[in-house]
Structure formats: C-alpha cells, structure tokens
A and B are shown apart, each in its own frame.
Chain A
Amino acid sequence: MKAVAAGFCGFIFALGLMVSGMADPANVLGFLDVTGAWNPLLAFVMGGAVAVTLPGFWWLRHRQVTGLASDKAQHWPKRWPPDVALVMGAILFGIGWGLTGVCPGPALVLLGLDGWKAWLLVAGILLGWKGTQYLQTGRAR
C-alpha cells in the first residue's frame, strides 16, 4: 500500500516536472542566468509547489497525521541550526547544478526520456552520494 502510494507520487511528481518545463535544462539555466536573458519560469514552478506544501505540511504537522503505514511515524527533518556540512554541500551541489541545469529529479525524468547520457549523470549522482556517505559513516565510527 505504501509502495503503491509512493509510486503514484513519483508519477505525479515527474508529470509536474515535465508539464512545468523543468525537465528541460534550458529553462533551468535560463533562470540561473540572472545577468543574461533571464527566464523566470522556475520561480513560478517553485511558487506553485510551495503554495501546496506550505498549507499541506502545516496541516500534517498540526493534525499529527501518522500516515497510512503503521510502522513509520512522521519523520520531520530538523529545521535549525545550519552547519558547515549544509553550506559546503549546497555549494558543491550548486556547482554541479550550474554545470548542467539538471538536478536529481529531472535527471531521472531524462533517464525515462531515453537519454543514455542521463545514465551517466544518475550514476555520477549515486557514486558521489554513496561515496560521501561511506566517508561520513567511516569517520563517525
């Protein structure tokens, strides 16, 4: 049941990315190109998304909804304070994002649209993510 719901969410999420134009790196790079021919679309996409998550998450938090799955209580990430890893990570991700205009969500969509190059990107993301996790947990021990 939980997996079915998650699969449905992934489907709707990807449809949103494609309908909004965010699966096209040209739109993303156009938004990041503030000094060039600025393309504001990403701001409308983010605005539309947050217009739903803001009241939606507020409601879920206050109703203390525990979800359809009985094994998992709601997991809310900590909201404060920021730390060095957060800022360093955001800088690294920002460099990667600026080089291609593709973040992880659109990378998976491009995979489905038959880009063999998208496999390269997704493999790179996985390798970088797992490698960093390995370094982090190794140091923690």
Chain B
Amino acid sequence: MTFAVLTAFGGGLLIGSAAVFLKAATGHILGVSGILGNAVSRSAGSWRWAFLAGVVGAAVVMRGMGVLLPASFSQLGWERLLVAGLLTGAGTRLANGCTSGHGVCGLGNLSGRSLIAVLVFMGTAGLVVFFQHSGSWFP
C-alpha cells in the first residue's frame, strides 16, 4: 500500500506537470473532454490532435512493454460503456470539464466553479457506486 501511495503521488506530479507545461506552451487548459470534443471540428488546432496522439501513444508504448488492459475494464458490458460514454460526453460538455479540467486544473486555479463541479460529480459517482451494491441492475 505504501508503494501504491508513492506511485499514486508520483503519477499525480506527472499529471500536474503536464497541465502546467501545456498551459505555458499553448495557453490552453489540460481538459481531456474539451480537447477531445473540440478536436472534431473545422477549427480544431493541430495541437489538440497532437495531445490526443500523445496520450494514446504513451499507452501504446506501455502496451509494447507488456502492460495489459486492466481486468476491471475488460469485465464491463458494452451497453454500460455506451450509456456511460454518452452521459460522460453530455455531462462534461454541459459542465465544461471533467476530472482533468475541473479537478487537476480547476482546483489548481482556485476556481469555485471547479470545486463545485468536482464535489457534485464525485458525490454523484459515489452514490451510483453505492446503489450498485444493492444488486447488479445494469449489465
């Protein structure tokens, strides 16, 4: 557990560094939902596609080094993934951000809007997990 705490904190430092460097270099907030959504548009800058390629590319490199797809993800049903994806897409567009934009960047930017968003989406997600204990009502 202590090792996991260290890698968690260290991974967090990498994530935060990426956010600050992206802000300094491009002027943009590292918010994955916004970068993804805005990448598919006529006015999408090449930096968005480069960022997305960097994210997926890092995973491809790790896969080459033997990192496997987590079993907890392989177990998820396709209906659940599609519904969750639609909700996540609609929600992050309405709220203007997800865990990276509001959490990593918004909290670091001392944003009250982001603090509210983080508390609401974490609270809601916690409730969903809690209610699922009362039986698997979704594939």
Chain B at the A interface: mostly helix, strand, loop or mixed? helix
Contact B69 A110 (CB under 8 A): yes
A60 / chain B contacts, CB cutoff of 8 Å: 20, 23-24
Chain A residues near B57: list those with CB within 8 A.
7, 10-11, 14, 112
Q: Is the interface of A mostly helix, strand, loop or mixed?
A: helix
Q: Are B46 and A41 in contact, with the CB atoms below 8 A? A: no
Interfacial chain B residues near A49, Cβ < 8 Å: 12-13, 15-16, 19, 103-104, 108
* B53 proximity list for chain A (CB < 8 A): 7, 10
Contact yes or no, A32 B126, CB < 8 A: yes
Q: Mark A108-141, 1 if CB is under 8 A from B, else 0.
A: 1111111101101111111111111100100000
How many chain A residues touch B (Cβ–Cβ < 8 Å)?
112
Least CB distance from B67 to A in Å reads 7
By a beta-carbon cutoff of 8 Å, the part of chain B in contact with chain A is 4-5, 7-30, 32-33, 36-37, 40, 45-60, 62-63, 67-74, 76, 78, 80-114, 116-118, 120-130, 132-133, 138
Q: Which residues of A contact B (CB under 8 A)?
A: 2-26, 29, 32-36, 40-42, 44-54, 56-57, 60-61, 65-69, 72-82, 85-105, 107-115, 117-118, 120-133, 136
**What are 10 A-B pairs with beta-carbon distances under 8 A?**
A2-B47, A7-B53, A9-B21, A11-B54, A16-B18, A32-B129, A99-B84, A108-B59, A123-B82, A129-B92
